Structures are given as C-alpha cells and as structure tokens.
C-alpha cells in the first residue's frame, strides 16, 4: 500500500529531478530505476551473505572483494563530490559489464548511463531512494506504479500508456490461470503483464491469506492479497509465465523492473521488433508451442520498414498498417485455443481496404471473435484522441456470434461514476 507520506516522498523526488534539469518523464523514471536496481542488488547481496553465514553454502557474488565500494550500502554515505564520479565511472560500468543479478533487468543495464550531472541532485536522489520500502512486497509494486502514472507523454512510434482501469478490464475478461503462459508483443512498461500478476494474486488468495492494512494518513483500510494458493506454481510464475517484447530499450528496462517489483523475479523480457523478420518462429522455451494468453495495446502508427516485415505476416495481410500486422502476429503467436484481448483503432473494424477485409475475414472464418468493446474516444487522452475498441478472440474454430458493447463512459468522466456498457 502506498501511503500519503510515500506519495509525498515520490513527488519530492520527482520535483528534485525537474529542478535539476531532467524534465523528460521517461528519463526521470529510467534514472530512478537504475538507482533502485543498485539498491536492490545490495539488498540481495546482503541477504545471500546472511544465508551463507547460517548455512555455510557459498553463492555467486554480485560484488567481488575489490568491488565492495560499488555497493549501495557503501557509496550512499559519500559526499556529493565523491559520489558522482564513483557512480558514473565505476558503478554504472559495473552494471554494463556483468549480468550481476542473473535477472532479465541485468541484460538491459548494459547500455545504462548516468544522466544526473549535478552532484547535489544525485545525493538527494540516493538519500530519498534509500528511504523507499523496496523490501515490502506489495508496497514496492504500488510505489513503482505511482511512478509510472507520471508518464504523460506519448512516444514517436505511437506508444502511449494504457490506463490502468482499461488494463484491469481486459485482464478480467481473459481470466488468466496460474498455468498459463502470458505474452505481450508490444510490452511498453509491462502494464498488462503486471496486472495479470495482480489478478492472479487476488484470485488465488484464500480468505485467511488476505491481509488488511490501514493507511496511517487517511485511515483507509486496504487489502493485500498474498496469493497463498499459488504456491505450487511459484517457479512457473517467477521465470516462465510472463513474456514481453518491445523495440524500446528504455521501456524494457522499466518493464523488467516493474515486474520484478511485483514478484516476478526473472521475467522473459526481450529487445525485439516483433513484426520484423528477425523475430524467430521459435518462442522462448516456456512458450515453444505458443502463448495461452496475449494482452496487447499495439502501436497504431510509426515508421515501418516494409522490407523488414516478416513474410509470414504479409502473406496474411499485405499492408504497412501496424495495427493489422500486430493482429496477424498475435494470432500466429497464440496456441490453438489461446485467448487474446487487444486494443485496436476503429479503422480495423470499419476500414474498406483489401487488407482490412482480409483480416476481418480471417478473424471470423478461422477464429472465434467473441466480443468487440467500443471505448470512448477520450480514454487515451492526453496521449491520443483516436477512437478505439477491444477485440476479444480465441485462436481456432469459427465465429458464430459476436457480442458488441458500446462503452459510453469509463468511470473517469466527471459526470459518470462507472463503466456504462450497452450491448448493441
């Protein structure tokens, strides 16, 4: 649970970055992510050292004897003039040269750079991050989600953050199971994968496993779901269930950290343009036969190298429109009987080009299109005002009936209080 005091700490940290000259929200989050990672490495190293003293079993160290000064617990005590050159010239190169954590996030630290140039800002950032509750399971995930809520700018390739309540709706519709393999071919910050994890925790927590905590500032009681009924599936969840792909390395770093802070220790996160010829037909080992669940909000625009698009996709629909190609890709990635909820622009439903018609025919004749949920045009503001809908479909079979829903308001319109869905 993130309290009012914790929100104030995050807001203060955010303000310090802006006053320090770092005003791009994505850069701010990336730099905070790097520093959080540095602290988590030291926390995990300390835990392993304590375990080794109890059990006498050796472990693979993240820091050798001559690298102890690179640990968070060591450099956080330094003054500004000492801390900046040490982190910039030694700590970050250490990240880049070694996969110290054995996690997916370590892979994306290889090109990490410290963008903080002001020594005083770095000291303030380190001191504030040192106070954050990164060892508290549910709180650290909520903390990171609050950070991500400050992303208010869209990327040049049609990327924009999907509102949490829309993600929640899509996850509930698909009802993922603890044995599923879940993917997102345009993962961004990992919101769909994180929410799937949250859904599993809530769904698979016994009444005895629910913990209630009271916000000391507001007095509001919140429930924490421990997922105690997931014990038999923990290993699958930690390293085999979640798979995300994106061609933005910064987004992948954030996605990997987001998942790690939500209890997915080693998510399968790949730097990959999933529409290109380089995207292998052989998916990660856990999903060698395809995915059981795919949740996605693919980019609707952006540059596309037609010559690099996978020929298997072009055989289905010959087009440069990414929203059409991503739907073909998702069908290709799913297991037979696999389910997907995907956000698309209205053009997919009403476009009259040969490619649009071919895709709709494929969805209807070769698969089960179960529902089309039309969303209000303002759902993605301030990122975009385009009208969109959610397609819910299952791979294989054929379509006999389709449910059409028109969402008049999403619960965040000042004049409304909840989803208003009218079947058409």
377-383 average pLDDT score: 66
Would residue 157 be called left, alpha or beta, if left means φ above 0 and alpha means ψ between -120 and 50 degrees? alpha
385 band by pLDDT with thresholds 50, 70 and 90: low
Looking at residue 108, its pLDDT comes to 64
What is the reported pLDDT for 249?
Answer: 77
Give the DSSP H or E segment for 167: helix 164-174
The contacts of residue 136 (CB under 8 Å, 6+ apart) are none
Residue 244, C-beta contacts closer than 8 angstroms, at least 6 positions apart: 183, 184, 187, 190, 193, 252, 255, 259, 267, 268, 269, 270
pTM above 0.85, yes or no: no
DSSP annotation of 397: S
pLDDT per residue as tens digits for the range 97-152:
754 455 565 666 667 788 999 999 999 999 989 988 877 655 666 777 788 777 75
pLDDT surpassing 80 at residue 338 = yes
What kind and span of H or E run contains 293? strand 291-296
Predicted local confidence at residue 367, as pLDDT: 95
Confidence of residue 255 (pLDDT cuts 50, 70, 90): confident
The encoded tokens of residue 338 equal: 């696999």
H or E element that contains 254: helix 249-261
The pLDDT, as a whole number, for residue 116 is 92
Residue-level pLDDT at 304: 61
Residue 262 pLDDT more than 70? Answer: yes
More confident residue, 229 or 412: 229
pLDDT band for position 330 (cuts 50, 70, 90): very high
**And the tokens for 131?**
């106070």
Greater confidence (409 vs 287) lies with: 409
pLDDT at 100: 44
Q: Estimate to the nearest angstrom the gap between the alpha carbon of 51 and the chain centroid.
A: 31
Report pLDDT for 270.
82
Residue 87, pLDDT > 70, answer: yes
Which is more confidently placed, 322 or 358? 358
- Mean pLDDT in residue range 177-198: 92
pLDDT of 336 reads 93
Higher pLDDT, 158 or 164: 164
Q: Where does the pLDDT of residue 373 fall: very low under 50, low under 70, confident under 90, or very high at 90 and above?
A: very high
Query: pLDDT exceeding 90 applies to what percent of the chain?
Result: 32
More confident residue, 67 or 6: 67
Is 80 exceeded by the pLDDT of residue 155? no
Q: Is the pLDDT of residue 365 over 90?
A: yes
**Average pLDDT, integer, range 57-66:** 81
Q: Mean pLDDT lowest for which of 14-28, 79-93, 328-342, 376-390?
A: 376-390
Give me the pLDDT at residue 269, please.
84
pLDDT of residue 195: 92
Contacts of range 97-101, beta carbons closer than 8 Å, 24 or more positions apart? 100/41, 100/62, 100/63, 101/37, 101/40, 101/41, 101/44, 101/62
């Amino acid at each position: 649970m993130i309290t009012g005091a914790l929100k104030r700490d995050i807001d203060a940290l955010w303000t310090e970055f802006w006053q320090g000259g770092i005003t791009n929200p994505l850069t701010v989050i990336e730099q905070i992510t790097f520093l959080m990672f540095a602290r988590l490495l030291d926390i995990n190293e300390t835990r392993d050292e304590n375990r080794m003293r109890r059990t006498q079993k050796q472990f693979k160290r993240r820091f050798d004897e001559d690298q102890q000064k690179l640990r968070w617990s060591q450099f956080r005590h330094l003054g500004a003039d000492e801390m900046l050159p040490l982190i910039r010239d030694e700590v970050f190169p250490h990240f880049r040269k070694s996969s110290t954590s054995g996690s997916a996030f370590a892979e994306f630290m290889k090109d990490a750079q410290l963008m903080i140039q002001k020594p005083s800002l770095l000291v303030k950032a380190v001191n504030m991050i040192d106070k954050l509750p990164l060892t508290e399971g549910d709180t650290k995930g909520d903390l990171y989600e609050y950070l991500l809520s400050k992303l208010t700018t869209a990327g040049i390739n049609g990327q924009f953050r999907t509102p949490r309540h829309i993600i929640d709706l899509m996850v509930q519709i698909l009802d993922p199971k603890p044995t599923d393999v879940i993917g997102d071919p345009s993962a961004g910050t990992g919101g769909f994968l994180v929410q799937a994890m949250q859904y599993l925790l809530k769904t698979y927590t016994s009444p005895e496993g629910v913990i209630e905590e009271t916000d000391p500032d507001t007095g509001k009681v919140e429930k924490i779901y421990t997922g105690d009924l997931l014990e038999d599936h923990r290993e699958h969840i930690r390293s085999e269930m979640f798979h995300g792909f994106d061609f933005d390395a910064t987004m992948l770093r954030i996605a990997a950290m987001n998942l790690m802070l939500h209890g997915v220790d080693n998510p399968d996160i790949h730097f990959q343009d999933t529409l290109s010829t380089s995207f292998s037909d052989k998916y990660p080992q856990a999903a060698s036969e395809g995915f059981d669940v795919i949740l996605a909000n693919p980019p609707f625009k952006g540059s596309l190298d037609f010559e690099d698009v996978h020929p298997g996709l072009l055989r289905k629909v010959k087009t440069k429109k990414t929203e059409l190609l991503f739907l073909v890709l998702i069908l290709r990635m799913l297991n037979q009987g696999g389910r997907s909820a995907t956000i698309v622009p209205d053009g997919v439903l009403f476009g009259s080009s040969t490619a649009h018609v071919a895709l709709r025919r494929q969805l209807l004749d070769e698969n089960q299109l179960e529902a089309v949920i039309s969303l209000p045009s303002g759902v993605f503001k301030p990122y975009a005002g385009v009208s969109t809908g959610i397609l819910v479909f299952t791979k294989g079979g054929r379509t006999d009936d389709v449910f059409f829903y028109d969402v008049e308001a999403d619960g965040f319109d000042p004049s409304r209080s909840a989803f208003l869905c009218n079947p058409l």
